[in-house]
Every structure is written in structure tokens, then in C-alpha cells.
Chain A
Amino acid sequence: MRRLAMFGAFLALGLQGAFSVAQAQSTIDEVKQRGELRIAGVLYRPLISPRPSGEYVGIDVELMKLMAADLGVKLNIVNSEWATAVAGIEAKKWDIVPAMCITDKRKEVIDFSESYITIGATLTTAANNPKGLTTVASFNRPEVVFAVPAGSWSESVAKEVAPLAQIKGFGQSTSADLIQEVVAGRADAVVLDTPIQTTVALDAFGDKIRIVPGHNKPLDVRACKVGYGYRKGDTKMRDYVDGFIAKMRSSGKLEALITQYMKPDQIKAAN
């Protein structure tokens, strides 16, 4: 019995030791040692989204495949939600969170790469919504309910633009799910980025919705600079990832992928 306890103590010490040693290494070295690059499988069309077959598709998926090949390792996409994406970096569930908007709040806990795409925000409501939501200011009332994925950039936009409004936080969900909430009358507003999600929304829902200030007219609120999130203080990682993005830009690969994927039908559904 005592021997068992001692063995348990040694095991715990050993694990603790292994853990703190790993802490000192850069993510890049860990990835190479492991032979696997792990990224958080969040849902943000068209950058990254899961398919029923289990594979992921999107701009970031392509970029990450290239990064994995560059590092000479496998790519492993681990399912995640926005609510826990950042925590997962600390928990070492993944090395990178792709498709992440760079916000000050997140920067307190993790580091970001350079931004590779920038998007703006709009507010969308149902066309027949009775609460008179025609101007941005009108959304900032306690009786207005926003439907957002918990922990996402949409949530932070909603809080910044309409601090008095209520927030309904969902798990992993697409913009279509959330617009459906609004159309069904169970929420009043949704934050969509423009021009991607708004294009898809208008395409799918037409005149059932109203976009404020308007399609292709982003709000004044901070835009979403999309970058890759990784462990804080990992300078080697930062150098590598920024270098990688620069390479993708200069070689024209980034541009090519954006053109390929940022089309409404790509974003909407695989037919």
C-alpha cells in the first residue's frame, strides 16, 4: 500500500518534471519532436470548417497543410469551439489557433502572428423585426438579443457596439445557424462579417433580413484582423509563423487561395 503511494508520488513528480521541461521549448521544436502540427478546428467559413467525412476544408486548412509540409510533419486538426480555443493553447491541445481575430483581450493570454486577412463587421436582423432596428445605435438597448458563438469575435463586437444588449452564446455554429435564430424570432441580431458572410446571408435569406449599416459597409468598430494564435512569449514560433505568412504573400499563394475560397458557393455548402 505504501509502495503504491510512493510510486504514485514519483509518477506525479515525473510528469510534473516532463511538463516543465516542455514549457521551456519553443512550439516549433515540440512540433518537430512530435512529428505533428496540431491546430484548433474552429468553425469559420471559408477559412476553416469541418465536413461530415471528418476532414476540414478552407483557406487556413490549405495554409496549415503547407506549413506542416514545410516543417516536415503531419497536420492534425483537433475539434474546438471559440469559447475554448485560447484555453486550448495553454492546455497544449493545439499549437496554433487559425482564423482568429486579434483582440487586446486575447493578446493578454496568447501571442498572434501578423494578420493575413482583414474583415469588417455588420449587424444583421430580421426584416420584420418589431424592435425598430434600423440604425447601429438602435441595437444598443437591453431588450435586444444578440446570437453569437460564445467567445468569438462576433461576441466582442456585439459587446462593444451594444453593451446594453443581451447576449445568447452558442457553441460551434455557422452564421447560417445564427441567422436562422434571428429569422425565427428567437434573437434580434447577429454579427456578420462583410463582405463574405453578408454575401452568403443575402444569397440564402434574401429580403428576410436587413443588414445595418449595409452590405459592404463595415461598422466603425475595430475590424477583425485575422491571425494565427499561439503560445505567449514563444519568439521562435513568432519568427517562423510571420516568415511563413510573408512567404505565402510574396509567392502569391495567399492571394490565390483567397480568390479560390472566398466565393459565396464555396462558403455556403458543398453541393
Chain B
Amino acid sequence: MGDFQFARIFGYLPDFIRGVGVTFQLGLISASLGLVLGLVFALMKFSRHPLLYWPSYVYIEFFRTTPPLVQIIWLYYGLPLLTGYDLGAFGSAAVALGLNMGAFYAEIFRAGIVGVHRTQWQAARVLGLNLTDTLRFIVLPQAVRNVLPPMGTTTIYLIKDTALASAIGTPELLRIGQLVAVETFRPVETLTIVAMLYFAVTYPVALLVDRLERRFKVARV
């Protein structure tokens, strides 16, 4: 149990760094996609028109309750089968995770907007503001302050799902780690380094989000 060959694993550092890059890109793209989808579906769910409400409801409930791993693999094999379009490993993971995150974000956006007290809307009306101005100057700024803390923590939580992309072979950090472990027969050193890399990359982001949360946390009685 004695001899650890960390030096040898460090030789693969370029591959690991590339994996970190892919993880990062994956997280960024899926979070962005999620933001857009989240906003769209959140607004759709406010509508009373059934053609807007029900697709949004189904989307949100479905993507929040099914495991992201299933979603990723489904997209990877299902999309080409059903439509002939192949997004590839990275694309499938990015889109699947984006859809997944979008569902969570949609609920947060909704809660954020609903959380702006009704009296704010009434006061805006009394002041004679139209809908656009009401949103722009009164409601949305408060809504944004409401959503930032949960958005931050949810994002950290969901970014971890990028590791699931390894299941379809996306060359992100965990996958690279597994390949190195297989090639060198040294799972301990390899996986430990992978763990440290993950921590090194996500911890600063988490600290940032925590600070953000403290600043924006709405006081509760």
C-alpha cells in the first residue's frame, strides 16, 4: 500500500487541465441556456392561456423530477434516433443540463417575481406607471434581489452535474481522470488529484456565491 506515484500522474496535467476547461465550458453553456429557458418558461407559467401554461408546467415538473443522468443519456441516443440530428457528447450534455437547470431556474424566477409584494404593484399603479415602467423600475429590481441568493446556491448545486457527462464520454474532468486511472493502473493518485482539481475550481465560485448571498439575503421575521 506504500508507493504512490504522484509524479507520474502529474505528467498527465495537460489532459487534466483540458478536462477542467471542458467542465467549465459545459457549466457555462448549460447555465446560460438554463437562464434563458428559465426566464421564458417562468413567464409562460404566469400566463392564463392553457397553451402557454401547460407546456411550461410539464416542462418544469418533468425536468425537476427526473435524474439528470437519464436526461443526458436520453438526449445522446434519442435525438439522433428521432430527428437525425446528433449533438455529440458535449452538445447533448450541454443541452440536457441546460434543460435541467432551466426548470429549476424557472421556479426560482417565478418565486422571485411573486415575492415582490402586491402592494408594490398597487403603488406603481397609483403613481400612474405603465406595465413596462413598473417592471423596470419597481418590480424587476426587487425580483432580482430576491432571486440572486437561491440562484447562486442552486447553480453551485447543479454545476456538479457536469460530472455526469462523463457517462456519455464527454472529455470533462472526471472522464479524463477515469481514462488516466485506467491507463496507469493508479486509481488512488489519479482520482485524488481529480478530487483536488474539482475542489480548487468550484470552491472559489462557491465562496463568491456565499458572499453574494449574504449581501442580498432578504431579512425574514
Question: What residues make up the interface of A, taking CB atoms closer than 8 Å to B?
Answer: 1, 15, 18-19, 22, 41, 50-54, 78-80, 84, 87-88, 90-93, 171-172, 174, 176-177, 204, 268-270
* Cα–Cα, bound, A270→B84 (Å): 37
7 A-B pairs whose Cβ atoms sit less than 8 Å apart in the complex: A15-B84, A22-B84, A90-B81, A91-B77, A92-B86, A93-B77, A204-B185
Binds A, one of B54-62, B114-122, B156-164, B165-173: B165-173
Point out the residue from A1, A50, A176 that lies within 8 Å of B179, measured CB to CB.
Answer: A50
CB pair B84–A93 under 8 Å, yes or no, is: no
A51-B84 contact given A41-B169, A84-B77, A87-B77, CB 8 Å threshold: no
Measured CB to CB, the closest approach of chain A to B77, in angstroms, equals: 5
Does B183 lie within 8 Å of A171, measured CB to CB?
no
B84 proximity list for chain A (CB < 8 A):
15, 18-19, 22, 92
Q: Would you give the shortest CB distance from A69 to chain B, in whole angstroms?
A: 23
Q: Which of B51, B80, B83 is the one whose CB lies under 8 Å from A93?
A: B80
C-alpha gap A7/B51 in the complex (Å): 17
B107 contacts partner chain A, Cβ-Cβ < 8 Å: no
Q: Which residues of B sit under 8 angstroms from A176, Cβ to Cβ?
A: 182, 185
Closest to B186 in A: A269
Closest CB of chain B to A270's CB: distance in Å?
A: 6
Other-chain contact of B89, A79, A84, A268, A270 (Cβ < 8 Å): A79
Which B residues are CB-close (under 8 A) to A1? Answer: 51
Give A54 to B19 CA distance when docked, in angstroms.
10
Q: Which residues of B contact A90 (CB under 8 A)?
A: 81
A22 surroundings in chain B (CB, below 8 A): 84
Q: Does B31 contact A (CB under 8 A)?
A: no
In the assembled complex, how far is the CB of residue B182 from the closest CB belonging to chain A, in whole angstroms?
5
Q: Are B183 and A52 in contact (CB under 8 A)?
A: yes
Expressed in whole angstroms, the Cα–Cα distance for A54 and B77 within the complex equals 21
Distance from A86 Cβ to chain B, minimum over Cβ atoms (Å): 11
Considering the complex, give the chain B residue whose CB is closest to the CB of A92: B80
Q: Which 8 A-B pairs have the closest CB atoms?
A: A79-B169, A91-B81, A52-B15, A52-B179, A91-B80, A52-B180, A19-B84, A52-B176
Answer whether residue B12 sits at the interface, using C-beta atoms and an 8 A cutoff. Answer: yes
Known: A15-B84, A19-B84, A79-B89. A269 touches B51 (CB 8 A): no
CB of B184 within 8 Å of the partner chain: yes
| Nearest-CB residue, chain A, relative to B8 | A271
* CB-based nearest A residue for B170: A79
Hey, which bits of chain B sit against chain A, CB under 8 A?
12, 15, 51, 77-78, 80-81, 83-84, 86, 88-89, 167-169, 171, 176, 179-180, 182-185
Asked whether A269 lies within 8 Å of B185 as measured between CB atoms, the reply is yes
**Cβ distance B54 to chain A, nearest Cβ, rounded Å:** 14
In the bound complex, CA of A177 to CA of B185 (Å): 9
In the complex with contacts A52-B183, A270-B183, A88-B77 CB distance below 8 A: yes
Q: Tell whether, in the assembled complex, residue A93 and residue B179 are in contact, meaning their CB atoms are under 8 Å apart.
A: no
Q: Across the two chains, which residue of chain B brings its CB closest to A91?
A: B81
B194 to chain A, nearest CB (A): 11
- Of B15, B80, B182, most buried by chain A (CB within 10 Å of CB) is B182
Q: Is the CB of A54 within 8 A of B86?
A: no
Measured between beta carbons, the chain B residues less than 8 angstroms from A204 are 185
Instruction: Assess the B184–A269 pair: CB atoms within 8 A.
Output: yes
- Complex CA–CA separation, A71 to B180 (angstroms): 33
- Give the chain B neighbours of A91 by CB distance below 8 A: 77-78, 80-81
Q: How far, in angstroms, from A238 to B10 measured CA to CA in the complex? A: 45
CA distance A75 to B174 in the complex (A): 25
- Give Cα A18–Cα B80 distance, bound, in whole angstroms: 13
Closest B-chain residue to A15, C-beta based? B83
Complex formed: what's the CA distance from A51 to B89 in Å? Answer: 16
Q: Judging by beta carbons under 8 Å apart, are B179 and A51 in contact?
A: yes
Query: A91-B77, A91-B80, A93-B77 are known contacts. Are A177 and B182 too (CB-CB below 8 A)?
Result: yes
- CB-defined contacts of B185 to chain A, threshold 8 Å: 176, 204, 268-269
Question: Across the interface, which residues of B come within 8 angstroms of A92, CB to CB?
Answer: 80-81, 84, 86
CA distance A90 to B78 in the complex (A): 11
Decide: A51 near B169, CB < 8 A? Known: A1-B51, A93-B80: no
Query: Within the complex, what minimum Cβ distance (angstroms) separates B67 from chain A?
Result: 15
Bound CA span A27–B77, Å: 19
Q: Which residue of A lies closest to B80 (CB)?
A: A91
What separation, in Å, do the CA atoms of A18 and B82 have in the docked complex? 12
Residues of B within 8 A of A53 (CB): 15
Task: Using CB atoms, name the residue of chain B closest to A180.
Answer: B187
